[in-house]
Structure 1
Amino acid sequence: MNPTTGTVTVTTTTLPVGSDPITASYGGDTNDNPATGSTTQTVTRATPTVTLTSSANPSAVNQSVTFTASLPSGATGTVTFTSGSTLLGASTITGGAATISTSTLPTGTDPITATYNGDINYNSATATLNQSVGKNTPILPPPVVTSSNLPLNTPEAITETVPTGVTGTVTFSDGTIPLGSAIIVNGVATLTVPSLPLGVDSITAATSGDVNNNPATSPPTLVMVGKTATVITLTSSTNPSAISQTITFSAGVHSGATGLVTFFDGPTTLGTGVVNTSGVATLSTSTLTIGSHPITASYGGDSSYIPSTSSVLVQVISKIPTVVTITASTPAQLIKTGITFTANVTASSPNATGTVAFMDGTTVLGTTTLSSNGGVAVSLSTNANAALLTSNLAMGSHQIIAVYSGDGSFAPSMSAPANDVVEDFTNTNSGPASQNIFPGATSNYNFNLAPVSVPTFLDDVTLTVTGLPPGSTYTLTPSTVAAGSGVTGVLLSVQTSSSLSAQNHPLRDTPNKRNELSIAVGMLGLLGLGTIRKLRNKMPRTLALSLIALGSLLPIAALSGCAGGYFTLTPTTYTVTVTGIEGTVQHAATATLIVQ
């Protein structure tokens, strides 16, 4: 309390909006009693002052700009930011300020408004500013090229990467000379030029500008362009090749190159070829000798291409290839008969010389010199041709080959085999080995003829029979085994003569008087039988029977020799032979015939 004025003053800023009852209470003192006083204070909302500022004004298109709305301390709520009629966004007031950032403002003058939406203590309020947004001038990097050291007449790809948002076209230039333009696609423009001038080329890229971006030009990229290095590719039309054969060597230089290529065989010059429009030079020759030749091609260069030499191509000149064929006069023959093998040597050039060896497996059958026409024929016979044979062709299958030795110009070769089969056959008695018959009887024998090494006979097999008893006849079924037949059974039927008889002869080492006695005893027995027959009724029965038996035995004994008889019966044995004849080959089989 001011004792002079008797007043008390209190200042406050915290009264809430509305009608506030205010009371003042005096506590009294020694002279005055306590007392109170009251009043009503009306508090209304204040209208704040909003201040709007920009972080960058003017700004460039796509540049991020932050707008700040400043309000009195204690203001709460939000601030809404707009660009003309476009809502930029809303921001909550913090520490007496609300901010928003954007990079989407269009070029030109953009009216920015910050509207404070008010709170319990403050009315709404606004602030504005004009934001000037200009086109962006992009910063371009130097172009990227395929190679900064480029041979002449070599294509070059040039690429420019532009900042985000830049559209339109990019024009590429070599110094002040435009090279061409390319459309920007996904931030990249690329141009490929077929070549750049010889020397140092300063390559730049310039954008055309668009609604948001000013035109801009990049720093240069330097490209050094020199003569084109060449790599010679040397090829041969035929490698290896035969002597005297024409060979064409081709040297690939570079498309667009001109001039000459010189071809060398070691240090020896073979000749030159002109580089054609395809960049290739050729040389043909047929004079290389047998052996290996180191061939190179040397290019002399021109105004755009550097001289160079190829790597070595080893050209092999070989002997002339040959082919040997062999033929046989027959694919099969009988054992111990001859066959002619003919060998022919063929080649791309005439006059092959040398020898041909005929081989049966690893066995040399013979060797013969080629005739002037390149052919040779040699007869190989098993009839001991010592000049050509080392062994006879044995029974069985053979594969005969002809081996050509070759000579100074012609290569050796070996034929495919000529198949040859040497055949034989067998003749066997397939039935009983021996049979006994009486004169006039018939006997049958079985024989089996079978080819060996082949399934059928090559020629007809004729059959003959020898060794039969005198006067006998026979039949053979079949009488001939036909060529082409397989294993064949043959039936031999022998009919003996009825005039055949056993041989009667005296017993060996027996005197003639004894023989006469035997006859006499036999006759006596016969006479005794006659007498007993006449007198049998007068004799006792027992005696008569005894005398009859004795009389019967005496002639039998005389005839059989038991009592010194006159003859004996001896069987006759014959060896019957059946012979099969095929060409010059014969095989026989036998059977035994015994005539009783």
Structure 2
Amino acid sequence: MGSTASRDARSGDLLRLAATSVAVLALLASSFTGLMGASAARAAADGTTPVAMTASAASPQVSYGTANTVRVTGLPAAATGAVDFVSGSTPLCRAVLPASACATPATLPIGSYPVTATYSGDDVYESATAVTAFSVSRASAPFSAGHASSVPYGTANTISVFGFPSAATGSVAIATSGRTLCTIPDITTGSFCQTPTDLAVGTYPFTISYSGDQNHNSRTVGSSFRVVPASTRLDARVRAATVPFGTPNMLEISGLPSSATGSVVFTAGVATLCRIDDVTAASSCSTAASLGAGTYAVTATYGGDASYGSSTASTGFEVTRATVPDFDAEASAASVEFGSSVVLGVDGLPSAATGSVVFTADGATLCRIADVTASATCSTPADLGAGTYTVTAAYSGDANHRAATAATGFEVTRAELADFDAAPAAPAAAYGSGIVLRYSGLPSAATGSVVFTSGSTVLCTIADVRDADECRTAASLDAGRYLVLATYSGDADHAAATSTSAFDVEQVATAIEASARARVVAAGEPNTLTLAGLPGAATGSVSFSSGALVLCTVDDISAADRCDTPADLGAGEYEVTVRYSGDRNHLASTARTAFAVEAATPLTPAPASEDGDPGELPATGDDPTAPLVWALALLLAGAALGARSSRRVRRRDVARSGT
């Protein structure tokens, strides 16, 4: 109905505006005829040329807020000056020639506007006037609205309107089914309002009605929103976190709105623990005293009502089992050696108790009594490592008895190794070969190392007894007797141990060799005697002698291997004895060689005898060939002497080899 009345009011306004416009146009036409006659009369008086000008509006009617374009036609193209458009005493706009049109203000109030266009004239053309008319009607006022599609019960919905023309004024009313939800009294100062918070759960179609103003039409649009049940936050708690078996526990709630109604059920799994039938009358209920021992994860469920949604909360408590205050544990021995077991036992359990007992130390299980109704003891493994064991006996408990613990303890000492022994593989070894040292008597589970020493000297080491049972000494051990101490390091479970033995490193034999640089040397010339055949590690000296005569000596065979005989040795054969002194690790040795020193040749040799020996040379006198004869004689004598010496040496060598 409101919308139809608004349309009828607008139709009446338009009809009245049209009648007014017709009357204005008739008046303008008669005025224009008079103006044209007066203009022609003036033009004839001052000598200017009259013009025939007409005026018009682009639209006979525009809405408020919209400019209209007014123009004139009929002015000569050469005319100058301006055309002013006025309505009564209100200037509308001015067109400066050659422009012939201009726009009216967009803010003209609602009404009819008879327009007079006045041309100013110039030196050539007479001024002129023309009339036209248009009207301004009220504008529509489009707007938009925004709001939540749903709000919880007890919460206002904020409805906003926006998008009105900037000059619009007036109010907005929001209503549903004859009930005003909220209003915006002045859209220039407010753009929203809020619905009441007591709306019941349901769907609410509503209208948004703009009142309109002097320049804008009224408008109504529709929309809807829903009020949904409000969410609830339920808090649940227990009176006691733990209760012993046979004691009820109190379960409580809080946090529901004061106007909420309905019930709350407490469950654990599928079992119902207790129920609050009316949350307006009570906020707690009690569990049954017969609840079995265990942990209860509790869910409290509120079912909701017409205005509030359902919700849940969680809590929990434990029903504990009966305590076992007299539970105790003991060990059969305070100390045992590695490799022996300990018997662990318990007492103090009620006769009806069932379950098991586990004995642990530092998190490791030592033994277990699987059923306390069948046995009260168990034995530890025999291979428990050496150390102190603080034992916890943990009783598992059963359906009606709480778990319990008790403490005891014992010590496992390292095993003594009475059978550890060590000895060399042989009683003696030659220098330069090393000797194998062995141990025996360690348990198969033993770890660690064995070090063989003699005094402060480490002979050899077995780094890991799991990998080897022998090691070899260095080949460079000096000759002598070695008293050996074998030391086993021990490990976590086995004590350290030692064993003694001995071995000898014996000197090695040598075989020296010798030679002379020259078999025969001339008198006054030294001979070089060279040694060989000794080991590279040998030290000491070598002497070369012939009978009691020391020919030369090498004082340090590591620095030299030869020496020179004296240059003044007399002519003759020299049987040479070579003596190596030996050292700490090498035995002495001897060798033989020989050489000869040749006598010097006389300057005047005699003629050779029948057996080839040279004799005296003949005198030369004054014979001019004497020098040649002497030279030839000397050559022959030297050759004979060399041949005789060679024969003597060969006879001596044959005789020596025969011995």
Structure-1-length-normalised TM-score: 0.43
Between Structure 1 and Structure 2, the one with more strand by share is: 1
Higher relative CO (CA 8 A, sep ≥ 6), structure 1 or 2? 1
Structure-2-length-normalised TM-score: 0.40
Between Structure 1 and Structure 2, the one with more helix by share is: 2
